[in-house]
Structure 1
Amino acid sequence: MEITVSVKDPTPEFESDLLALLDKHRTALRRDPGWNTERARLFCEALTQPRARRILREVVARGGEVAADDLRERNDSSLRGHAGALTRVLKRGATEGWWDSGLKSPLIALGPGSGKVHGYRILDEETLAAFRAALNHPPNEQ
């Protein structure tokens, strides 16, 4: 049996009771570790660092992957400053309960592992679809 529960604006008493029930049966629970449109929307809204937002938007707009040279601005060859922003939003989402703490970053840096990156790609096709939907339909347009 599989049960999916989504509760919008629960009362504090209901939330407390539900969390207690889930905690009691935690060994039987399977968490959903993937990206969906709602999680992607929350991630995009919380990602306020301009360079990180631009990288994410470019990766999505280009079908899931972008070369670092395509991201560099004319007078700025550095792409520094975005990795921390992505990590902070990922941690904040776990703290706020938007997703599980094991959720992987939607972006993967391409390159040798240290030093300059060669580009970025999105985690997988499902993640690309979720972020495409989130970026194409912001909450005020829905």
Structure 2
Amino acid sequence: MSDIPEIVTVGQSEIIHHEGYDPDIVSPFVPAIRVVSSARLVFISGVTGAPVYHDHPHRPEVFDAIPADGAAQARTAFEHLDQALRAAGAERRDVVNLIRFFTNVAEDQDAVNRIQAEWFGGHIPTSTTVEVTRLATDPRLRLEIHVVAAAPPA
């Protein structure tokens, strides 16, 4: 354990660890990330396993092809994040904040943590996990992910 803050630069941000940091502890989040001033902040709307573009009001039949399990929905949600990041000129390592909304944390969190770790490939953003009664898009959805990224300057 270190009592000295550790700062590691990654892309357009600095990962900050504070007193009590132990690199041997496996964690899906870091306590703080500071964005450097030249970065362009990218805010990505919550993504799910549902098609990103869909009608409002929602039509239930649009969501009939969504897999029922949380892991499959997570894989699709992370694919949707890739699309949004690329379109915004950002990469996975540029993600500085991740908010995950689960409808059942106990059933899905471990699988989503594994998929998330694979997707990030060693990068770890700040993160918050919340359990909600249901997601707004469709009651069959189990996970929604909201992201903020720090893209390189244009």
Q: TM-score, normalised by structure 2?
A: 0.25
Q: Which has the higher helix share?
A: 1
Q: Which has the higher strand share?
A: 2
Q: TM-score, normalised by structure 1?
A: 0.26
